[in-house]
Chains A and B, each alone.
Chain A
Amino acid sequence: MDTREKDIEKLKDYKYGFTTDIENIKSPKGLNEDVIKFISNIKKEPKWMLDFRLKAYERLKLLKEPNWQKPKYPKIDYQDLYYYSAPKSMKDKPKSLDELDPKLLETYKKLGIPLQEQARLNGIAVDAVFDSVSVATTFKGELTKHGIIFCSMSEAIQKHPDLVKKYLGTVIPVTDHFFATLNSAVFTDGSFVYIPEGVKCPMELSTYFRINASETGQFERTLIIADKGSYVSYLEGCTAPMRDENQLHAANVELIALDDAEIKYSTVQNWYPGDENGKGGIYNFVTKRGLCKGNNSKISWTQVETGSAITWKYPSCILKGDNSIGEFYSIAITNNHQKADTGTKMIHLGKNTKSKIISKGISAGFSDMTYRGLVDINSKAKNSSNYTQCDSLLMGNKCGAHTVPYIKNKNFDSNIAHEATTSKISEEQLHYCQQRGLNPEEAVGLIVNGFCKEVLQQLPMEFAVEAQKLVGISLEGSVG
């Protein structure tokens, strides 16, 4: 086989593994004040934004990289990374999709995300982030009619500085923890959503993240604000090319729900997981946090995590408003040498707050999976409750599954229920399905989708089918 054939052979396993040959503008390598100023300058940011970054950078100098997680990784040399990379053609930002570099359009087409508005992706508005910048946001006109703001973070900083200033860093402060603070210092782009009072967003909003350049970290920042009585459903998808190096992805996502508002945030994460020997792949170290600020507000996280070499994240809810609700539905799949340490935190502060955690972990091959979750019911959170269900499914006998729940209840009126199961796909189950005509991969797909059903049901319809397929693909080759 020549190299090209080999590449094609490899692509079968991870079909998003191609690279786009495009000219980039990069910041100088390494992390220092000048690089931060470079980023802020190239984005023509106002002074308050630069100050925010520099404040974070000052703080970062005092922080140590955490090391308590289960999956360990070789030391990252933060001076050996590029913190900003953008396609050259984006320098003078195109005004419409017609002006967009055809190579970028082609890339997103290959990924199955048509950006041309006329292509109308099932009526879903998309914001596409390529390496460090947002390249296109679709359906702006339609959304503007309802007063909804859906744009790149860079654009929001220019056009809606008051909203950004008011909310950015209020859920994940610049002083939070190493990776979150690093993000605050160097974040490049991401999505911004504002849903005005009383508006139910008429379509799914979606962001598609793509890492392309090598030796580049992706640090996006997403901020979603649902004003009183509003509703929004938001979905992010992610892929990256196959590279032998490990690439860092340290995003911050902040959600804020005011009185009676609801935010539904879904993730289908399919970053490049590394090859079957564990070489390469993305380090997905993401901080996601939602604040149920208002009374009767609700935030729901749904995640399908199939990619990345290491997934390390805990999408969390701070239930500050009385009667607020936090939900976390998760499917995490690890195969080959992938590792995941993921779960959630539910912090109950308000009265009558409720939270629900449904976590489904599937490990195959030589992989290792940890569910880690915190349920913290404050003394003032009277009459609150949590229900946690944590199921692990093992395939083969070389993988691991661990459940680490932390429970703090400072309140007599409140109650917490935790259920956990661990099971294995048995040879007998596989044999049974095969006897009924299914091949081993179809059989595993069926059994695993059954196992994950409660979570898959939470996804917006358009993505549930996609996610179901992804679940099957991620486990290909795990039966033998």
Chain B
Amino acid sequence: MLKISNLNANVENKSILKDFSLNINPGEVHAIMGPNGSGKSTLSNILSGKKGYQVSGEILFENKNLFDLETEERAHKGIFLAFQYPLEIPGVNTNIFLKTSLNAIRKARGEKELDAIEFLKLVKEKAKELKFDEEKLNRQLNVGFSGGEKKKNEILQMSMLAPKLSILDETDSGLDIDALKIVADGVNTLRNDDNSFLIITHYQRLLDYIKPDFVHVLMNGKIIRSGGPELAIELEKKGYESFN
């Protein structure tokens, strides 16, 4: 599904990712763990299409060159990023944002756009699953939301859009244990043989609830080790320093 080969990324001539390669097949859950400044967020930014990076190498998503696609086209094709810092958009009602987003993607895929009633039914159902306070759906997008609510809102959007590849950029940071479980439930519900996940995190904690197929340790812009879930546990015990 996703094939990253020899990806190099620079910001203002500073090298962040160095010959980074990664393969994700349909249905797989990959976790990338790494200390601050190892290039985790750069990776998710580049996958989502954020501008401002000088890149070389290749990223194929379902055999399409990702660099040929605009951010929104990547979203239409099924790439979703749960942001580390979800943005506030004052004046824009959360429901309206969700509906606009969902219908933009459906339209791009040639599917019928949902009308208000169909949309509300779906969003209520999903909000209930994720224990997301329905009242917040009528508030301005992320304005006045707590850190945890913002992250849950990302997961709500993820489950509404049902993407093929979901990238979770430190979605677990700042979450209490209940919220962490809800986020994990969101992922596990969506998990099947077709959908893949790339979970970027500092801590092993989230991986107690979302069992990854592969764990990669990212340091200084490179994957220095890959393994199964046991690698995360080892990492938690020994710390990043011991891997360096």
A-side interface residues toward B, CB under 8 Å? Answer: 423, 426-429, 431-440, 442, 446-447, 449-454
The answer on a CB contact under 8 Å between B70 and A450 is no
The answer on a CB contact under 8 Å between A434 and B87 is no
- Pick from A427, A435, A436, A450: contact of B91, CB below 8 A: A450
Distance between B15 CB and nearest chain A CB, rounded to angstroms: 22
Q: Please, which residue of chain A has its CB at the minimum distance from the CB of B71?
A: A434
A438 to B49 CA separation, bound complex (whole angstroms):
13
The answer on a CB contact under 8 Å between A436 and B157 is yes
The answer on a CB contact under 8 Å between A439 and B72 is yes
* Stretch among B54-62, B96-104, B122-130, B218-226 lining the A interface: B96-104
The answer on a CB contact under 8 Å between A431 and B50 is yes
The answer on a CB contact under 8 Å between B92 and A435 is no
The answer on a CB contact under 8 Å between B89 and A450 is yes
A449 to B48 CA separation, bound complex (whole angstroms):
25
The answer on a CB contact under 8 Å between A435 and B89 is no
A451 to B90 CA separation, bound complex (whole angstroms):
7
Q: Please, which residue of chain B has its CB at the minimum distance from the CB of A421?
A: B90
Extra 15 A-B pairs, beta carbons < 8 Å, given A434-B49, A451-B91: A429-B87, A431-B49, A431-B50, A434-B71, A435-B49, A435-B72, A436-B101, A437-B105, A437-B108, A438-B72, A447-B91, A449-B92, A450-B89, A452-B91, A453-B91
A79 to B70 CA separation, bound complex (whole angstroms):
54
Query: Could you pull out 17 A-B pairs where Cβ atoms are within 8 angstroms?
Result: A431-B71, A432-B83, A433-B101, A434-B70, A434-B72, A435-B49, A435-B74, A435-B81, A436-B97, A436-B101, A436-B105, A436-B157, A438-B72, A438-B104, A439-B70, A453-B91, A454-B91
Residues in chain B near residue A454, CB distance under 8 A: 91
A450 to B91 CA separation, bound complex (whole angstroms):
4
Q: Please, which residue of chain A has its CB at the minimum distance from the CB of B104?
A: A437
Q: Is B140 an interface residue when CB atoms closer than 8 A count as contact?
A: yes
Distance between B11 CB and nearest chain A CB, rounded to angstroms: 14
The answer on a CB contact under 8 Å between A447 and B89 is yes
Residues in chain A near residue B81, CB distance under 8 A: 435
Distance between B200 CB and nearest chain A CB, rounded to angstroms: 15
Q: Is B187 an interface residue when CB atoms closer than 8 A count as contact?
A: no
Distance between A392 CB and nearest chain B CB, rounded to angstroms: 13
Binary per-residue interface labels of chain B (8-48) against chain A in the complex, 1 for a CB within 8 Å, 0 otherwise:
00000000000000000000000000000000000000001
Distance between B40 CB and nearest chain A CB, rounded to angstroms: 17
B-side interface residues toward A, CB under 8 Å? Answer: 48-51, 70-72, 74-76, 80-81, 83, 86-87, 89-93, 96-97, 100-102, 104-105, 108, 140, 157, 161
**Interface pairs A-B: 7 shortest CB-CB:** A450-B91, A450-B92, A436-B101, A434-B71, A437-B105, A437-B104, A437-B75
The answer on a CB contact under 8 Å between B89 and A431 is no
Residues in chain A near residue B97, CB distance under 8 A: 436, 446
- Pick from B86, B90, B108: contact of A432, CB below 8 A: B86
Distance between A376 CB and nearest chain B CB, rounded to angstroms: 30
- Pick from A437, A442, A447: contact of B76, CB below 8 A: A437
Q: Please, which residue of chain A has its CB at the minimum distance from the CB of B105?
A: A437
Residues in chain A near residue B87, CB distance under 8 A: 426, 428-429, 432
Given known A-B contacts A431-B50, A431-B71, A438 and B100 have beta carbons under 8 A apart: yes
A224 to B83 CA separation, bound complex (whole angstroms):
53
Residues in chain A near residue B101, CB distance under 8 A: 433, 436-438
The answer on a CB contact under 8 Å between A429 and B75 is no
Residues in chain A near residue B91, CB distance under 8 A: 447, 449-454
The answer on a CB contact under 8 Å between B90 and A435 is no
**Residue among B74, B87, B91, B93 with max Cβ neighbours from chain A (10 Å):** B91
Residues in chain B near residue A431, CB distance under 8 A: 48-51, 71
Distance between B138 CB and nearest chain A CB, rounded to angstroms: 13
Distance between B79 CB and nearest chain A CB, rounded to angstroms: 8
The answer on a CB contact under 8 Å between B89 and A429 is yes
Residues in chain B near residue A450, CB distance under 8 A: 89-93, 140
Residues in chain A near residue B140, CB distance under 8 A: 450
A438 to B101 CA separation, bound complex (whole angstroms):
6
Q: Please, which residue of chain B has its CB at the minimum distance from the CB of A439?
A: B72
**Residue among B49, B104, B161 with max Cβ neighbours from chain A (10 Å):** B104
A452 to B70 CA separation, bound complex (whole angstroms):
28
A431 to B101 CA separation, bound complex (whole angstroms):
13
Q: Please, which residue of chain A has its CB at the minimum distance from the CB of B107?
A: A437
A151 to B74 CA separation, bound complex (whole angstroms):
56
A436 to B78 CA separation, bound complex (whole angstroms):
10
A449 to B140 CA separation, bound complex (whole angstroms):
12
A430 to B96 CA separation, bound complex (whole angstroms):
16
The answer on a CB contact under 8 Å between B50 and A437 is no
A431 to B49 CA separation, bound complex (whole angstroms):
8
A452 to B90 CA separation, bound complex (whole angstroms):
10
A447 to B83 CA separation, bound complex (whole angstroms):
18
Residues in chain B near residue A439, CB distance under 8 A: 70, 72, 104
**Residue among A433, A436, A438, A454 with max Cβ neighbours from chain B (10 Å):** A436
- Pick from A426, A427, A437, A453: contact of B72, CB below 8 A: A437
**Residue among A431, A432, A440, A452 with max Cβ neighbours from chain B (10 Å):** A432
The answer on a CB contact under 8 Å between A436 and B104 is yes
Residues in chain A near residue B80, CB distance under 8 A: 435
Distance between A144 CB and nearest chain B CB, rounded to angstroms: 40
The answer on a CB contact under 8 Å between B92 and A446 is yes
Distance between A429 CB and nearest chain B CB, rounded to angstroms: 5
Q: Please, which residue of chain B has its CB at the minimum distance from the CB of A432?
A: B87
Distance between A62 CB and nearest chain B CB, rounded to angstroms: 47
Distance between B102 CB and nearest chain A CB, rounded to angstroms: 8
- Pick from A428, A440, A447: contact of B92, CB below 8 A: A447
A451 to B88 CA separation, bound complex (whole angstroms):
12
The answer on a CB contact under 8 Å between B104 and A435 is no
A45 to B97 CA separation, bound complex (whole angstroms):
56
Q: Please, which residue of chain B has its CB at the minimum distance from the CB of A423?
A: B90
A308 to B161 CA separation, bound complex (whole angstroms):
41
Distance between B81 CB and nearest chain A CB, rounded to angstroms: 5
A419 to B199 CA separation, bound complex (whole angstroms):
43
